[in-house]
Structure 1
């Protein structure tokens, strides 16, 4: 069964609510909204930090924009990708999900940017929509797309002891960048360079080189 939630498109400072069909394991939001971080961006060696309280999504009347759209609060520490965007640097961070239709999904991953002044943006969000958000395997893989901020990276997360994540792209094997999520060290956020297109056939391996469960490895688009 398909379910829906709101996605927020911010253009010229105005918020417009649209129904986004949740399918193929992801829901994406192209947003220009900003949020302040709770700490500096970190990589795989970050120590755990306190989580933010979940912020339930809201919507205005049918056909009308919500005048006070929800602003995502980062859960845990922000992961710096080291990849330059049109303005700022691409980062990833956990955000709360509170949807009655998704009782076993409590978080998603946001791709945003840290701007030169330190502001954190929210550009593309993705979350699991089938089963538990921490079931072993891949979750919420979102293909890169062209947005106002430039070409976003393909990204997602893996639940489990993955130390190496690969995919096929244009007939070759490519290796993802990855970092452990500070809020839950069993969750690995991964991403590919924005120039790498056509990601498919994701695979994860443990420290000993053994292949791990695949999970939901479909790559969502848009």
Structure 2
């Protein structure tokens, strides 16, 4: 039994019950993990035009190296305890790159976690400590109106130089994609995106956050022909 569970048990015990001494920091940490999904930062901006260009094959513009994360979806970073308002939802994804001593991360924000179809916003940000009060949003991306959890690509943003820092091409895909690719317009080569699983509150609120690798301080790649594939190698639905 955890100390949080012991506290709950003590609250329902007879008056003469004497609970063991409590470690308040441990209890708060346990509660914080249970409430981690509701956090507050900022709003969003549309990326529907960029997504249409990338998917349709028109040109798009694509940070020092940070240790590569372990294989598989990234786990949520530690975050400050704050259950007073909705905000950051689900896993915070490490891209494996950093700029000016801060790690590039991707995460979802919402002003209403019960209405993700109209409020989900994807954020590219940076952090040094990994705590939510240290998150610095750099680019906000979403689709206008409803349909943000419909099958297909959403919130796609082209990589660019932002205040001297190189950002990746990124977005999220709703569906069972096992591979996401694009074409480098300069080299003609197919490049594969990195992916990490993301989910909201309901079982149907599932997506994959994806981004294409990049080198800090260098001009971003121009990517076209964004495509998703299933486990059999067949192309999947692209329009969000």
Q: Tell me the TM-score normalized by structure 2.
A: 0.57
Q: Distance in 1 between matches of 2:197 and 2:72?
A: 8
What is the correspondence of 1:135-214 to structure 2 with a 5 Å cutoff? 135-148=150-163, 150-169=165-184, 170=186, 171-183=188-200, 186-195=206-215, 196-214=220-238
1:109 aligns with 2:147: no
Contact 1:25 1:129 survives alignment (8 Å): no
**Contact 1:128 1:140 (C-alpha < 8 Å) held by counterparts:** yes
Question: Alignment length, in residue pairs?
Answer: 160
Q: Give the Cα–Cα distance (whole angstroms) in 1 for the partners of residues 191 and 85 of structure 2.
A: 35
Bigger share in strand: 1
Richer in helix (by share): 2
CA contact (8 A) 1:54 1:96 kept: no
Where does 1:35-46 land on structure 2 (aligned, <5 Å)?
A: 44=73, 46=75
Q: Distance in 2 between matches of 1:143 and 1:193?
A: 12
Over 3 Å off, 4+ runs? 20-23, 51-55
Given the alignment, which residue of 101, 110, 116 partners 1:87? Answer: 101
Q: Which runs of 5+ in 2 are unaligned?
A: 1-44, 52-70, 77-81
Contact 2:110 2:119 in 1 (8 A): yes
Gaps in structure 1 of 5+ consecutive residues: 1-19, 27-41, 56-72, 217-222
Q: Output the TM-score relative to the length of structure 1.
A: 0.61
> 1:178 Cα shift?
0.7
Counterpart CA distance in 2 for 1:91 and 1:200 is 23
Q: Match for residue 78 of structure 1?
A: 92
In structure 2, how many angstroms separate the alpha carbons of the residues matched to 1:146 and 1:213? 30
User: Quick one: which of 142, 153, 156 aligns to 1:127?
Assistant: 142
Larger Rg: 2
